[in-house]
Amino acid sequence: MSKKTKQELENNKLSKRLRHAVGDAINDFNMIEPGDKIMVCLSGGKDSYALLDILRQLQASAPIDFELVAVNLDQKQPGFPEEVLPTYLESIGVPYKIVEEDTYSTVKRVLDEGKTTCSLCSRLRRGILYRTAKELGCTKIALGHHRDDILATMFLNMFYGGKLKAMPPKLVSDNGEHIVIRPLAYVKEKDLIKYAELKQFPIIPCNLCGSQPNLQRQVIGDMLRDWDKRFPGRIESMFSALQNVVPSHLADTELFDFAGLERGQSLKHGGDLAFDSEKMPERFSDGSEEDESEIKIAPQKAERKVINILANKPKTCGA
């Protein structure tokens, strides 16, 4: 096998793996429904480019119809190349809207020199995006956070916030008006890096937040990457833990009735066994050889019909 052919096979496996991971997340959490108009938040980074690209692939083949509109928030960051995103979006034929709001000056004016800008910048950006989604009549807001972002958020909350909390793949906005989805929830960041190189997305670096020294999220990210190199499978196991929560073996009295425990009571997850035997989660294996028809969908409530986003569009008569 030639080097070129081998690389083409690897690229196909990567594309299929990402498509499956996104499709599984959409199915598991019922992220996309017939008739949805999805606002894809596009920052110019590798994650949001990949999100839009994969959603477009699914839009072309899925058995349901949904719309996509790309939205970029131009925060008037000095040196931001304003022409890059419109040029790219027009070249691929995606409807888009560029929202211009000078949040950069606001953040710099309000915060003292040396303070990290992420928290304030995020709040300002979120409010603008919610408003834009309402103006565009969008039913869902898609963000480009991936598996590693979700785990990093969990550790940030544990280490600095005193909460066992991460980023949910699907949630309702604070004002209750919007559904926010994260279709990349099952996707590894290292796969997104490879995919961005493969697709040659016109990446726009963020000099506002990513370059800040001593950024807590960066420190956590470095920790996770180090673990991934030194302890293969640890990241997969940690993410699997987010989907296997055992309230009776934690210590939150709001989630479990510890005060009402009685002798002889049977617990759903067993009694005093503190550590379960090691078992590697299967969801995050490459699965590159898996046929799409074999992809398993988590059981849903009977009253809600969920359509497999990875299935193909039905053939029209005479086609």
Residues contributing to the annotated binding site: 118, 121, 209
Q: What gap in Å lies between CA 91 and CA 202, rounded to an integer? A: 12
- How far does the chain reach from its first CA to its final CA, in angstroms? 37
State the DSSP H helix or E strand holding residue 38, giving kind and residue range, or none if neither.
strand 37-41
Rounded Cα distance, 120 and 128, in Å: 13
**What's the token pair of residue 63?**
């058995």
Which single residue is written with the structure tokens 């969801």?
283
Cβ neighbours of 105 (radius 10 Å): 12
Strands (E), 253-317: none
* Beta strand extents in 173-300 (DSSP E only): 179-181
Binding-site residues for [4Fe-4S] cluster sit at 118, 121, 209
> Strand pairing partners for 181?
142, 170
Rounded to an integer, what distance in angstroms lies between the CA atom of residue 130 and that of residue 258?
A: 39
| Type of residue at 5 | T
